[in-house]
Chain A
Amino acid sequence: RKEVEQDPGPFNVPEGATVAFNCTYSNSASQSFFWYRQDCRKEPKLLMSVYSSGNEDGRFTAQLNRASQYISLLIRDSKLSDSATYLCVVNHGGSNYKLTFGKGTLLTVNP
């Protein structure tokens, strides 16, 4: 089982749609979880951290289920500018600095 697995997509949705991405991780020692966003041919940028209680930042909601080793990202009222690849990121094997990145899920929001 890969350390971080994501549905690669692509997800094609109309503006205003709600879209959800899922991610699973294999190492139960992992304690820190993030979603990064990567635009085409650009560098990754932190979108949000994921906390045990779940957290929200505007239209974005992240959830963590430790028992199932599952992380999700929900985007509400999607905008054209949300089109990007979304990377699920987990600290590697409980390391306090090394991150493991998923391959990403490609989202295209259409007008």
Chain B
Amino acid sequence: GAGVSQSPSNKVTEKGKDVELRCDPISGHTALYWYRQSLGQGLEFLIYFQGNSAPDKSGLPSDRFSAERTGGSVSTLTIQRTQQEDSAVYLCASSLAGGLDTQYFGPGTRLTVL
């Protein structure tokens, strides 16, 4: 079946611009995660959505970052006024029921801020 998909696969933007990254989780998966992977660094947790519960936003690095999940499915990660240090691969994952269920990752969006 279809896995997690993300778009765009690559995004180049200028410093100060806003960007939106999209994630389509596996159909039927109730939990969705966003991570960031900077060059030479481990994956960094950003945000977690589970069903209708309030999301865990504790990993968002600043108030320039926000995320939504509409209808319990598609999610959008928005970065406002991008900075060069935001350059990274942004990975989305979904799992069937949250908790420590296996997380299936999408291919990521490579963001480059010039």
Contact = CB atoms under 8 A, between A and B. Distances in A.
Q: Are A and B physically bound partners?
A: yes
A45 B100 contact: no
A75 interface: no
Interface string A7-41: 00000000000000000000000001000000000
A97 B107 contact: no
A43 B100 contact: no
A4 B43 CA distance: 11
B37 to A, nearest CB: 8
Contact of A87 (B42, B56, B106): B42
Interface string B83-114: 00000000100000011101101111000000
B71 interface: no
A57 B39 CA distance: 31
Interface residues of B, number: 21
Interface residues of A, number: 19
Interface string B40-59: 11110100101000001001
Nearest to A8: B40
A4 B31 CA distance: 24
Contacts of B105: 43-45
Nearest to B35: A101
Interface of B: 31, 35, 40-43, 45, 48, 50, 56, 59, 91, 98-100, 102-103, 105-108
Closest A-B pairs by Cβ, 7 of them: A43-B105, A101-B43, A101-B42, A103-B42, A32-B100, A46-B102, A96-B99
Given A46-B102, A100-B45, A101-B35, 18 more contacts: A32-B100, A43-B105, A43-B107, A44-B91, A44-B105, A87-B43, A92-B45, A96-B100, A97-B48, A97-B56, A97-B99, A98-B59, A99-B100, A99-B103, A100-B42, A101-B42, A103-B40, A104-B42
